[in-house]
Amino acid sequence: MGNTCRYVVSATGKNGETYYTQCKDKEELKEWLAEHEDKLNKKELKVKDKKRHPLLSWLNF
């Protein structure tokens, strides 16, 4: 079986915690972000879409 996750979330919490999770679809991603919204530092939040073409992410500043 292959890895079925699409989104990878890497974030830092307000108290210095480190968060790393994988979500299989956009709904799961939104749900996770809503659950942890008050704990996350928005400036340190990074979401990577593994199915997006690398050239598109490079062109999109």
pLDDT in tens, 13-53: 999 999 999 999 999 999 999 999 999 999 999 999 988 87
Whether 2 is in a domain gets the answer: no
Nearest to 24 by CA among 3, 43, 40, 1: 3
Q: Is 7 helix (H, G, I), strand (E, B) or coil?
A: strand
* Tally of domains within the chain: 1
The span from the CA of 16 to the CA of 26, in Å, is 26
- Tell me the residue range of the domain where 37 lies: 7-57
Whether 15 is in a domain gets the answer: yes
pLDDT of residue 52: 84
The span from the CA of 23 to the CA of 49, in Å, is 10
Whether 1 is in a domain gets the answer: no
